[in-house]
Each structure stands twice: as C-alpha cells, then as structure tokens.
A and B are shown apart, each in its own frame.
Chain A
Amino acid sequence: MKPYKQTIILALSLMLLPLSGFAQTPAEKGLAIAKEIDKRDEGFGDSTAELTMTLKNKAGRESYRYIRFKTLEVKGDGDKSLSIFDKPRDIKGTAMLTFSHPIAQDDQWMFLPALKRVKRISSRNKSGPFMGSEFAFEDLGSQEVAKYHYKWMLDEKYNGLDCFVLERRPAYEYSGYTRQVVWVDKEEYRIQQVEYYDRKNSLLKTQTFGNYKQYLDKYWRPGHMDMINHQTGKSTKLLWNNYKFRVGLKESNFNRNSLKRAR
C-alpha cells in the first residue's frame, strides 16, 4: 500500500510542477515558466504582421517607421524572418533577412535597393538601436528559451492580472543588458512588462505590452508595445497590425533572391 501512495503523490506533484513550482528552486521554476511561454507559441508555422513605430524624442517630436515582418518557425533552431522597410521613404525597399539561432550568432543579410546590393552584415552586436528607436535589435529578435538564464522572483498582480515575475540574464556575451525583469500573466503566459537593466545594472528601459489578441484559438500577440528609456527620456511606441498566421510561407521565401524582391 505504501509504495502505491508514494507513486500517487509523485504523479500529482509532477502534474503540478510547472504551475506550483513545488520543490523547485527559483531557477528551475523560472526555466519552467520560460519553457511554458515558448511551448504556448509552438506550431504557429508562419506569420506576417505590420508594424508602425512612433519615435518620440525628449522634446516630444515624433517620427515614424513602417515595417512589415514575415516569419517562419524553424523547429529546433531560431526562426527565419524577413523585415521590409516601407517608411521613412528614403529607405523604402530596404529589407533584412535573419536566420536567428538561440546561442550562436544570427545570420543576417541586408538588401540596399539603391545599389541593388545584398550585404552580409555582422550580427554580433544586437544591443544597438533598431531604426534609431528605443528598441534594440535584441528586444525584437526571436525569443528562444536558450537565450537567457532564468530565475523566478515572486508572484504579484500587474494591471489586475496575477503574474509571475522572473529575472532573466542574457546567455549571449554581447547583449546590452545584465538582466531583465519580466512580468508574465499566469493565465495565458503572456509577457506584460519587461524592465531592462544596462551593463552597469542600472534601470535603462521599461517595455509594456497591451491589447493582446488571440489568433487560431491559441497564439496571443500584443497590439502594442511601448518602450520608455529612463536614461534619455525618449520613447518608442509600436503598433502591430494585420497579424496573419499560416499564410503559406516556405523556406524559399527566406533566401537572398526573395530578399532582393521583398517589398
């Protein structure tokens, strides 16, 4: 009778593991949450989306960027993506092809329409500003579990939602951050807020997510993301539109030929 009882307890605790974190260290619990976030995004196949960026400087003057994204899910590796720049008009037709990898450097090519030139670019440093905005390349890149070391910190309410609060430290040597603090709601595992700490471990930026919508009855995507830079007073708002899933993108949509005619 005794062994039977033990088995039941073990089975029950295993079932509860990812949720309750029973008998877990904060690191294990953090990793389990990150894996759950990732799992809930698995199988989307491919997607397209449109992005409007509004950059606001300290004086409040705004400038805009319009970008379209095409993404292909790659099993066992980072996603492939194509970003196409529509505005500002002087860079219209510029496009970027990225094969992301969880730990290794991404492969990245840029198409410059005026010269019709495809340039392989160094992707080592992803801490630089994306299009002059407060978002760094690494903030917008494919979010793979292996990109960070995790630690669960506490549970608290954020905007009325029960959330896990995690700390994640970039595994990548050339990241611009020492750590990030992430609020994830317990119900749907959607990221609600991220605080970015710079290399000197000072609070650099806060990113908030809002207007989440569910697609294909499974995949949650935010309608907007706002980034505030506490050190410069500048901010960037991202407005996501027209999310589409499983539109039939293939490997052949993500090569140098397709980069050249991306528009």
Chain B
Amino acid sequence: MTEINNTIEKSPVKLSREDFVSDQMVKWCPGCGDHAVLAAVSKVFPEIGYKKENFVFVSGIGCSSRFPYYVNTYGFHGIHGRATAIASGVKIANPKLSVWIVTGDGDSMAIGGNHFIHIIRRNIDVNLLLLNNRIYGLTKGQYSPTSPLGAVTKTSPYGTIEHPFNPGELVLGAQGTFYARAIDVNPKLMTEIMFEAARHDGTSVVEVLQNCVIFNDGAYDELTDRATREDRLITLQAGERMIFGKDRNKGLRLNGTSIEVVTIGENGITEEDILIHDPSQHDSGIHLMLAKMTGPDFPVALGVIRAAKCPTYDDLMEEQITEIRAKSKIHCMDDLLNSGDTWTI
C-alpha cells in the first residue's frame, strides 16, 4: 500500500485494531454483511495511520447506520438520509478530520438521494461506505431503490414495478471522482478499497454488496457462490488487463462504442486485445460502462473503478479564505463595523 499524504495529522505511535474497538454490544443479526465492513474498518484504520481522534463517523438511519456506535472514534448518528449533509458540515468546518459516512441503499438512494448526488458533485473530501443489501432491513423487509425490478417484498407482494438505481451510475452521473465496489465476502479486497478511498482526495464512494440474511438472503448468491463467482465477477486493478474467469481466459475489450466479453485464444483474440484498467482517467466513459456491467452477459465489476484527480470543495474553501484574507483590509469585527459610510454625532 502506498502511503497517504494530506493535511490530516498522523498518529505518532502505531495504532492497532484494538484502538478502534468500541465497548458497545454489536446488535446486528448474526451473518449480516455489516459485520464484515466493521471488521475491515478496524483493520484498515491503523494502516491509514491518522491519530485516532481525527476519525469521525457519521451515519443516517437504517441497520448500517448503527455503525458509529460500534467503532471507537468520534461519531454522529444522524437522521434518515442526511448523513451526507451532516458530514459535509463536519468536513467543511474542520478539513483536518478524516470523515467517514456509513449509509445504506434506502438512506442514500431514497430519502437522502438529493444530498448524495450533491456531496459527490461538490467533491467534498469524505469517504462514503454504501452498504447495499437491496432491501429495507430495519423496517423489516420493504423494497429499496436498488431492489431489482419485480422483487417480491412486503410492500411489493406482486413484485416491484420500479426500475432500480445502480449506485455506480448515479455516482458517475454526479461527476464522482472515486467509485469502488466491494463485496462482503471478500474482506481483503474491501480493506484495500477502503485504504484507496482514504488516500483519494474527494468524495470516495465505496459500494459494498452485502447480504441481508433475514430479509433478502441470497441477493448476491451468483456473485458469492464458489462454483460461479469466478465467471460472474471481475476484480479490476489499476494498470492491469481486465481479465477474469475460472480459467483466466475471459476479458473485456472495446467493440465500437461498447464493451464486450471475449475469450482469449478464440477468434484470434490475444491478451493484447484486452483493455487495461485506468481508474485515474478523467473521462468517465469506460468507468460508467464498467459500473453498469451486470449478469448474465457481463461480469459484475469489483475494485476501484474510478479514482480521478479533481480539486475538493474543502481545499477550495480554505484557499479562498487564505486568498481573501490576504487581500482584505478588514481583519476583525471592529474593522467591519466601522467600514463604509459612517458619521459621528
């Protein structure tokens, strides 16, 4: 892992997982994918290396939003859908904090959809963990904006008649600078992605495909089943060719304006024909195609899909303050009160 370089103060001593373990009983259901995310956070935070007081967790409402209570950092458990807006305030107020948002598909894609797209558009330097189980868990099993068309749930007994959001598409549509996808059963990849999210300057969205054992069990079975997963998933690595499959012989290439799956060794296809992944590419066209890929024709993409450089809101704010301060003749309230048109009686 490359070192992280920014203005957030690092810990003078090496921290460990124990530094972030909270004394609270974790009340998620046994087998819930949230546990894996919590484990990954505790593992990656010491690696990120900031002082433990510089981490802040902000959440909204939902199962995943109980997260702040279960990790020993500064934490704020907000209201439904507003974690992104609360976190914007925290980060702008103090850019020297490492701000982490934990949200779910209901919290961020439905009630908080507006704040979600706007924090991304502004590129505020926070990390957003979107735990996507495609169901409302805390209210016991209603469909969410990411539930697939036709999903049978308690509020759609005959199947949903709504087209779901693909969070990645939304992120890129809002001019996101960082989007990655992880899956709860692969903690190693999740940890790597979280580190990259922390390293990225800007809004880093990490979507975690995550199973709800009670209300939507098996939602990602095709992606997690040992027999099929190699063919159904592709893990993207910067600078590497987009090759996947049990036999490592499948790949992605551009055909005209779209992506297609090809087999190396068939029809004259060689490794040279396969696309090389470049998450830093400014144009998000290919990233969008990768984010949208879904079965059965395409593998689902995991890994850091996009990590492009772009100025952050919080940096621009600090720069503007410095610049205007240097130019202005007004340095305090007494100056301001006595400025302009005044007279003495």
**A, B in one complex:** no
Q: Which residues of A contact B (CB under 8 A)?
A: none
